[in-house]
Amino acid sequence: MISPRDELLTQDILRLKKEKSAYIIAHYYQREEVQALADFVGDSYAMAIAAKESPYDVILVAGVDFMAETAAILCPGKIVLTPEPAATCPMANTITVNDVLAYKKKHPESIVVCYVNTPAEIKAVSDVCCTSSNAVKIINRLPENAGIFFIPDQYLGSYLAKKLGRSIDLFSASCPTHANIEKEHLLRLKEQFPHAQVLVHPECHPEIVDLADYAGSTKGILDYATQSEGKSFIIGTECGILYSLQKNNPDKTFILASEELICPNMKSITLDKVRYSLEKLETRVTVPEEIRAKAALALERMIEYAS
């Protein structure tokens, strides 16, 4: 439910958006009021494509830093704005360029598959990017006998290895938000709601994924819930997805697998910050050209393999 003050802010933002010819792209984990005014809401893959195809010169990305960087990498001629430059992804920041280079030195024939949740300099030393919605497709495009180093999310990587029956070398990072689902709590919810299907993101711990009826990206979870004849679902991903789930399925019930499924970085973007960002055209996100050009190769390869 949008508050009267949020309504005023929303009007300001819509006016500024028109004045500045700006396009607002938001992630499903954003606050409800930010998703409600965005021109486009999607997962990180869809956001990248929306930025690349946008005819607007100013793109405001309501998401964490790697999402805005991805837009800046794919749209070098455009102004890319973030309303909160400190909004970051703790998982993305655990891996360093040296970690990747050290692996490549030991395994020069292997292919580095880089989850899009990484800074630009990590993408620049990787071979191909992926998101949770296209990772299966991307890995299936790689030679069958290729060694693969999947970075940085160990749980998404192990999920892919199991699903595809391939050996994949993993880095040891994981998402602190998805880690908040406790197995015992989920088992209790399943008992309490015996007809509810469990839909989770593969960033969850494997023991949570094993209890799920479906594991997939945020878009995958949305599509599954919308197409399913089921009427209730236990959701194992960040709480922001409830906005789109409920909007698309007003007759269905969604129960969060944990009260702690809140990403504080995603939630640090507020309407006040979006308005300020559009008004001042700040903070602009740029990537040094040498890094941008190399990171663009890994991202463009993802887009080619996923389409």
Of 99, 91, 136, the closest CA to residue 118 belongs to 91
Nearer Cβ to ligand SF4 (16/73) = 73
- Provide, rounded to whole angstroms, the least separation between the CB of residue 263 and ligand SF4: 3
Distance (Å, whole) CA 91 – CA 174: 6
Tell me: does residue 91 bind ligand SF4 (CB under 6 A).
yes
Binding marks (x or -) toward ligand SF4, 161..180, rule CB under 6 A?
--------------xxx---
Cα→Cα distances 249→34, 41, 229, 244, Å: 20, 16, 11, 8
Q: How is residue 186 written in tokens?
A: 């989920």
Distance (Å, whole) CA 186 – CA 182: 6
Distance (Å, whole) CA 261 – CA 246: 17
Question: Per residue in 272-304, is it b (16+ CB within 10 Å) or e — as a string?
Answer: ebbbebbeeeebebebeeebbebbbbbbebbee
Tell me: does residue 263 bind ligand SF4 (CB under 6 A).
yes
Nearer Cβ to ligand SF4 (10/237) = 237
Of residues 99 through 128, those in contact with ligand SF4 by CB under 6 A are: 117
- Provide, rounded to whole angstroms, the least separation between the CB of residue 117 and ligand SF4: 5
- Provide, rounded to whole angstroms, the least separation between the CB of residue 192 and ligand SF4: 25
Binding marks (x or -) toward ligand SF4, 188..207, rule CB under 6 A?
---------------x----
For ligand SF4, which stretch binds (CB under 6 A), given 119-127, 246-254, 263-271, 275-283? 263-271
Tell me: does residue 130 bind ligand SF4 (CB under 6 A).
no
Of residues 204 through 243, those in contact with ligand SF4 by CB under 6 A are: 238
Distance (Å, whole) CA 200 – CA 208: 8
Bridge partners of 112, per DSSP, are 149
Distance (Å, whole) CA 213 – CA 101: 38
- Provide, rounded to whole angstroms, the least separation between the CB of residue 16 and ligand SF4: 26
What residues make contact with ligand SF4 under the rule CB under 6 A? 64, 89-91, 117, 175-177, 203, 238, 263, 265-266
